[in-house]
Structure 1
Amino acid sequence: MLLKLLALGGLGYAGYRYYEKTRSQPAFAGNQGKATVRDAGPESMRDNSGRAWTPADEASDQSFPASDPPSTY
């Protein structure tokens, strides 16, 4: 019984590691390559919101994940 649980746990862990390795970054556009941080701007986003970006949207995206807000607010 214990060996079955260990085998099942090992299979689950191996499946999770495979899933994590093969999933793509959700916010990255196709032009980002192997980057770990997305470039700022709507052209670097995978999903288009369908609306034009305001200067505040652009400043907020450029400053993320900084703790201080951009000076344009």
Structure 2
Amino acid sequence: MALFKLAFASAVAYGLYRYSERSRVGQTDHAAFAAGETNGANLAKARHAGSEAMRSDPPEWDRADQASDESFPASDPPGTY
């Protein structure tokens, strides 16, 4: 009887897992992107530079932040530092 209960609980857990994964199919909202910034399902996601392309607006944004954001992922920092 205990084995039956364990199998039933496992089946229910698997069903809930599959149901939750099904709702994520086609989801393109990524944490770093503002609404409408991502398109398609490509592997090399890149967003536009600037605070308006971010999902959450930073409390402060100056020229150095903008230059750093525009140069990412370059290995050298921008010249405005």
Q: TM-score normalised to the size of structure 2?
A: 0.55
Determine the C-alpha separation between the residues in 2 that align with 1:50 and 1:20.
33
Task: Name which of structure 1's ranges 12-21 and 40-49 shifts more when overlaid on structure 2.
Answer: 12-21
Greater radius of gyration (CA):
2
With normalisation by structure 1, the TM-score equals 0.59
1:19 counterpart SS class: coil
- 2:77 corresponds, among 56, 60, 70, to 70
Q: Percent identity?
A: 32
Structure 1: unaligned runs, 5 residues or longer: none
What residue ranges of structure 2 are gaps of 5+ in the alignment? 1-5
Regions of 4+ moved over 3 Å: 19-23
1:1-73 equivalent positions in 2, closer than 5 A: 1-19=6-24, 21-22=26-27, 24-34=29-39, 36-54=45-63, 56-66=64-74, 68-72=75-79, 73=81
Q: Deviations over 1:14-73 (max 9, x none)?
A: 31352364472233223425263211112212222232422x21222123334x132424
* C-alpha RMSD of matched pairs (Å): 2.9
